[in-house]
C-alpha cells in the first residue's frame, strides 16, 4: 500500500492537485474529511451553463429561451439542495446572468463548426511515479479537440491551474486540449500546446503531496506540516473553526 492509499486517497484529480498547490492546508483538510464540501452560486452558474450547453450540443434545435429555462431549473436545484447559504443578491445576479453566458457559448460553438463527438466523459490515466490513477471528466470533445468550459469574467491568458487540468484530458485522450473561457460578452479560447510540461508540473506537485502524506499515517499529524491561510475567500466560517482546532490556533501561554 502506498502513501496515498494509507490515507484512503485511491485516485487523484486535477482539482485535488490544484487545491494542494493553491491551498495546501485545505487540500489536507479535504483528505481528512474536514471540509464542508459546499460550493457557491458562481459554481452553480458554471454547472448550469456546462450542462445546458451539452444538452444543446446533443439537441441543436433547442432555442435560447429553452436553454435558459433549463439552466435556471438546474441552478435552482443546486441552490435548493445545497447547505451552503448564499446572499439573496448573489443568487439573483448569478441566476440572471445565465442567459448571457449561454448566448455567448451558443454563438461561439455555432461559428466554430467543429463536429460534436461526446460530452461529460470520464478519463483515467496512470502517470509515471504516481502510484494511484488520475481521474477527470472533460466537458466536450469536438472534432480533434477536447474542451473544458469555464464561465466567469473575460480573461486575457490561460491559468496554470486550468492548463494542468486540460493537459490531463489531452494526455489521456491523445487530443489537443482547449480551455474555453465563457463570459457574458463572448468566449476566449486557449489551445494548450505544451501538454508534457504541464503533466510534469502535475507530477511534481503530486509527489510533493505524497511526501507530506508519508510523514504519518495520521492525517492530522500531516496537517501540521503546513499552515492554513484563513484569510482566503474559499474558507467557510465552519471550516475556519475546524482549522483553528486542528492547528491549535487558539492556544496561548496564559
- What count of other Cβ atoms lies within 10 Å of the Cβ of residue 120? 12
Is residue 165 within 8 Å of 18, Cβ to Cβ? Answer: yes
Q: Which of 50-59, 85-94, 190-199 has the lowest mean pLDDT?
A: 85-94
Please name which of 85, 22, 77, 84 lies closest in space to residue 45, comparing C-alpha atoms.
77
The residue-averaged pLDDT of 153-173 equals 97
What's the pLDDT score for residue 250?
77
* Residue 234 binned pLDDT confidence (cut-offs 50, 70, 90): confident
Alpha helices, DSSP H only, in the chain?
3-6, 14-22, 24-31, 41-58, 64-81, 88-112, 160-173, 195-213, 219-223, 237-246
Question: Which helix (H) or strand (E) element contains residue 158?
Answer: none
What's the pLDDT score for residue 86?
82
d(CA 103, CA 8): 42
Higher-scoring residue by pLDDT: 238, 21: 21
d(CA 76, CA 41): 10
What's the pLDDT score for residue 253?
55
The residue-averaged pLDDT of 111-130 equals 94
Q: What is the mean pLDDT of the chain?
A: 94
* Residue 178 binned pLDDT confidence (cut-offs 50, 70, 90): very high
Q: Which of 99-103, 169-173, 175-179, 229-233 has the lowest mean pLDDT?
A: 229-233
CA 98 to chain centre: 19
pLDDT beyond 60 at 180 = yes
Q: Which of 31-45, 110-124, 125-139, 162-176 has the lowest mean pLDDT?
A: 31-45
d(CA 145, CA 136): 16
What's the pLDDT score for residue 237?
85
CA dihedral (63, 66, 69, 75) positive or negative: negative
Higher-scoring residue by pLDDT: 38, 29: 29
Please name which of 41, 226, 11, 59 lies closest in space to residue 151, comparing C-alpha atoms.
41
59-91 pLDDT per residue, tens: 999 999 999 999 999 999 988 887 777 889 999
Amino acid at each position: 500500500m502506498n502513501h496515498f492509499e494509507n490515507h484512503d486517497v485511491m485516485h487523484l484529480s486535477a482539482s485535488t492537485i490544484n487545491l494542494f498547490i493553491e491551498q495546501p492546508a485545505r487540500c489536507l483538510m479535504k483528505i481528512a474529511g474536514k471540509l464542508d464540501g459546499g460550493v457557491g452560486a458562481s459554481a452553480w452558474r458554471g454547472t448550469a451553463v456546462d450542462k445546458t450547453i451539452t444538452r444543446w450540443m446533443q439537441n441543436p434545435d433547442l432555442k435560447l429561451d429553452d436553454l435558459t429555462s433549463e439552466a435556471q431549473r438546474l441552478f435552482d436545484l443546486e441552490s435548493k439542495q445545497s447547505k451552503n447559504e448564499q446572499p439573496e443578491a448573489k443568487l439573483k445576479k448569478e441566476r440572471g446572468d445565465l442567459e448571457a453566458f449561454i448566448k455567448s457559448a451558443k454563438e461561439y460553438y455555432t461559428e466554430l463548426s467543429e463536429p460534436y463527438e461526446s460530452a461529460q466523459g470520464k478519463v483515467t490515466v496512470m502517470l509515471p511515479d504516481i502510484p494511484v490513477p488520475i481521474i477527470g471528466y472533460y466537458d466536450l470533445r469536438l472534432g480533434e479537440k477536447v474542451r473544458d468550459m469555464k464561465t466567469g469574467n473575460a480573461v486575457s491568458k490561460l491559468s496554470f491551474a486550468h492548463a494542468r487540468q486540460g493537459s490531463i484530458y489531452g494526455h489521456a485522450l491523445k487530443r489537443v486540449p482547449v480551455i474555453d473561457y465563457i463570459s457574458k460578452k463572448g468566449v476566449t479560447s486557449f489551445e494548450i500546446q505544451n501538454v508534457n510540461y504541464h503533466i510534469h508540473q502535475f507530477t511534481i506537485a503530486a509527489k510533493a503531496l505524497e511526501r507530506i502524506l508519508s510523514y504519518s499515517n495520521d492525517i492530522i499529524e500531516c496537517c501540521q506540516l503546513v499552515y492554513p491561510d484563513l484569510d482566503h475567500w474559499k474558507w467557510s466560517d465552519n471550516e475556519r473553526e475546524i482549522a483553528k482546532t486542528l492547528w491549535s490556533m487558539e492556544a496561548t501561554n496564559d
